[in-house]
Amino acid sequence: EAQVTQNPRYLITVTGKKLTVTCSQNMNHEYMSWYRQDPGLGLRQIYYSMNVEVTDKGDVPEGYKVSRKEKRNFPLILESPSPNQTSLYFCASSLQQGVGNIQYFGAGTRLSVL
Amino acid sequence: GDSVTQMEGPVTLSEEAFLTINCTYTATGYPSLFWYVQYPGEGLQLLLKATKADDKGSNKGFEATYRKETTSFHLEKGSVQVSDSAVYFCALSDFGGSQGNLIFGKGTKLSVKP
């Protein structure tokens, strides 16, 4: 089954404790992206990757890191989480970056930073 | 820059009522337009899309027409069901302003009562 898999689904952590949210897709997609969803703000893009070893900042990249060493994986790293990073996070992928391309989303990771 | 504005929610309807969710956009180029739906506890999934002016996207009884003259992409359904309760996001991608990335509206929560 074609899917985007995120782990974990739920995570509670404390300020400053490094964490990684994994994202994997099995569709051989070139493009992958991370978003955060906050009430009243909709989805905002954090980082995206057009292909292996190619990443770029989205609209809200501060406090996040990403890497794309393999085509299928695109982990999101919070080196020193803070309470304002409490949010619902989604990973997405599409065949390529481009106008009209459909993005496929993971089920989400709900993060609470205390 | 590019942006999407959609009507504020929540929207509460009775089963079999007519649904309209308004969406307007600002774009520098010729965007593709999308409606994504997020069911409770799940990630976003594509509902429909349109890639050029006057195109009509349709799926599961939902329709939206790409109106370039009014820069709009309103979502409609003639008879909603309880199972349509979800959050609906209007989005665009445009090489000019968004570099092919998706830009989302803030979402409209729909609740359908039996």
State whether A41 and B106 contact (CB < 8 Å): yes
Residue of B4, B30, B101, B103 to mutate when probing chain A, most A C-beta within 10 A? B101
Residue in B with minimal Cα distance to A109 = B43
Q: What pLDDT score does B96 carry?
A: 66
What pLDDT shows up at residue B94? 84
B34 vs B88: CA distance, rounded Å? 10
Phi, psi of B50 (to 5 degrees): -145, 140
Query: Average pLDDT of chain B?
Result: 93
Q: Which candidate from B31, B43, B46 shows the least CB-CB separation from A99?
A: B31
Position A97 confidence tier, pLDDT thresholds 50, 70, 90: confident
Label each residue of B37-63 as H, E or C. Answer: EECCCCCEEEEEEECCCCCEEEECCEE
Residue corresponding to tokens 């050029």 = B52
- Judge whether A112 and A60 are in contact, CB under 8 Å: no
> Given this model, what pLDDT does residue B99 score?
72
Report the run of H or E that residue A111 belongs to, with start and end.
strand A109-113
Query: Mean pLDDT for chain A?
Result: 94
Peptide bond into A83 cis (omega under 30): no
Nearest by CB to residue A107, choosing from B43, B46, B105, is B43
User: Tell me, what's the pLDDT at A85?
Assistant: 98
Considering only residues 38 to 57 of chain A, which have any Cβ-Cβ distance to chain B shorter than 8 Å? Answer: 40-45, 48
Closest CB to A97: pick one of B34, B51, B100: B100
Residue of A nearest to B42 (CA): A107
**pLDDT given for residue A1 in this prediction:** 81
- For the cut 90, the answer to whether the pLDDT of residue B48 exceeds it is yes
Q: How far is CA A103 from CA A39, A51, B23, B25, B91, in A?
A: 21, 15, 19, 19, 11
Confidence of residue A101 (pLDDT cuts 50, 70, 90): confident
Note the Cα B38 to chain centre separation in Å: 11
Question: Is the Cβ–Cβ distance between B76 and B64 less than 8 Å?
Answer: yes
- From the list A13, A17, A1, the residue with the least C-alpha distance to A109 is A13
Local confidence band at A83 (pLDDT 50, 70, 90 cut-offs) = very high
